[in-house]
Amino acid sequence: MSLIADTPISLIVLCSGLALVLIGLWGMLTQRNMIRMIVGFSLTDTGVHMVMVSIGYVTGGTAPIINDAVPIAEAASRVVDPVPSALVLTAIVIGLGVTAVMLSVAIRIYKARRTLMIDECTESKW
């Protein structure tokens, strides 16, 4: 228990994120069903987002909103880094966009050939 308690919170998030990346990769590499591969991608993507968020954490920091709770004078020492948060926001939207396109491609593939198995889509090769 103390191990977890002593571990910095951001490291836990970081590790979880990296683990999620690995799990997602596993899914993308081993699941033959395209929808499952897309799920794998989403996991990887989410993992990356978690890593990003964790990087922005500053020990003991709070949300980077400068109002009554965090006066301007103390801002620099009390808030977490706003940049990774901003980045992750963007990254999430982009991930969403990619996922949406991926799904539509998968749908079209299913329409066209009645299968979602990636290893049945190998006619162009060499």
Partner 1 sequence: MVAAFFTDVMLQPLGIYVLALGAGFLVPLFDRAHRGSAMLVFMGSLAGMVAIAALNLYAIINGAAVIDIETAGIAPPFAINLRFGLFEGGVVLAVNIAALLGAWHYLPSLKQHASALLLYLILVMGINGMVMTRDLFNLFIFIEITSIATYALIGMERTGTVLAAGFKYIIATSVATAFFLLGTIFIYYQVGTLNIDDIISHGALIHGPIGLIATLFVLTSLLIELKPYPANGWGLDVYETANSGIASLISVGVSAGVFFALFKLLPLMDAYLDSIAVVAGATFLLSNIIGLKQHNAKRLLGYSSIGQMGLLTLALVLLEQLDAGAQIALVVGGLFVNHLLAKAGLFWLAGIVDRTNIKDWASIARRPELLILLGLMFAALIGLPPFPGFWAKWELVMLLGSADQYGWILLVLLGSLLEAAYLFRWFSHARKRDDELTEHVCSFWQPAPVAIAAALLVAIGFGMAGTMDLDVPAMFLPLLAGFGLWLIDGLPARVKQLAMLLAVAAGGYWLTQELTGINQLFSYLLVAGGLLISIATIYRNDVRNGFYPLLAVLLLSLAALLRASTTLEFFFSWELMTLSSYLLITLARAGIKPALAYLLFSLGSAYFIFAGFAAAFASTGSILLADLGNVSSPGLVFSLLAAGFVIKMGGFGVHIWLPDAYAEADDDFTAMLSAVVSKAGIFGLVIIAAQLGIRSDIGLDPAYVLGWIGILTATFGALMAVFQEDIKRLVAYSSMGQLGYIVTGVALMSHLGWVSALYLTVNHFLFKGILFLSIAGIVLRTNERLMYKMGGLIKNMPVTFVFTMIAIIAMSGVPPLTGFGGKWMLFNALMEKGWYWIAALAFFSSAVAFLYMFRLLQTVFLGQRKLEHAKLREAPAILLVPQVVMIAAIMAISAYPKLLLDPLSAAINPWIANTLVWDGFALQTHYGYWNAPLIMAIVGGVWMVPLIILLLVSLTMKIQKVEQFNIVYAAERPHRPEDTHFAYNFFAHYDRAIGFLVRPRATAFWNAVIEWSHTLGSSLRVFYNGNGQTYALFILMYFVAMVLFNGGLGS
Partner 2 sequence: MIKRLFILMMLAVMAVIFLNLAGNYRENTELSRLGHYYAENGPQELGAPNLVTAVVVTYRGLDTLGEVTVLFISAAGVGLLLRRTRRKQDDEDLEQGDRAEETAGVHKPASEIVETATELLLPMVILFGIYVFLNGHLSPGGGFQGGAIIASGTMFLLLALPESHISRLMIAVIESLSGFSYVVVGVLGVLLAGGFLDNRIIDPGTYGALFSAGAIPLIYVFVGLKVGFELSAVLDRFRKEDTGPL
Max Cα separation, the chain? 64
Segment 73-112, which members bind partner 1 (CB under 8 A)?
83-84, 87, 90-91, 94, 97-98, 101-102, 104-106, 108-109, 112
What is residue 79's three-state secondary structure?
A: strand
C-beta closer to partner 1: residue 58 or 63 = 58
Report residue 9 as tokens: 């919170």
What phi and psi values does residue 117 have, to the nearest 5 degrees?
-80, 125
Q: Which does 75 bind (CB under 5 to 8 A by kind): partner 1, partner 2, none?
A: partner 2
Residue 22 as a binder of partner 1 (CB under 8 A): the answer is no
Segment 34-63, which members bind partner 1 (CB under 8 A)?
34, 37, 41, 44-45, 48, 51-52, 55
- Alpha-carbon distance of 44 to 48, in angstroms, equals 6
- Alpha-carbon distance of 15 to 66, in angstroms, equals 30
Is the CB of residue 33 less than 8 Å from the CB of residue 108? no
Which residues contact partner 1 by CB under 8 A?
21, 25, 28-30, 32, 34, 37, 41, 44-45, 48, 51-52, 55, 83-84, 87, 90-91, 94, 97-98, 101-102, 104-106, 108-109, 112-113, 118-119, 121-126
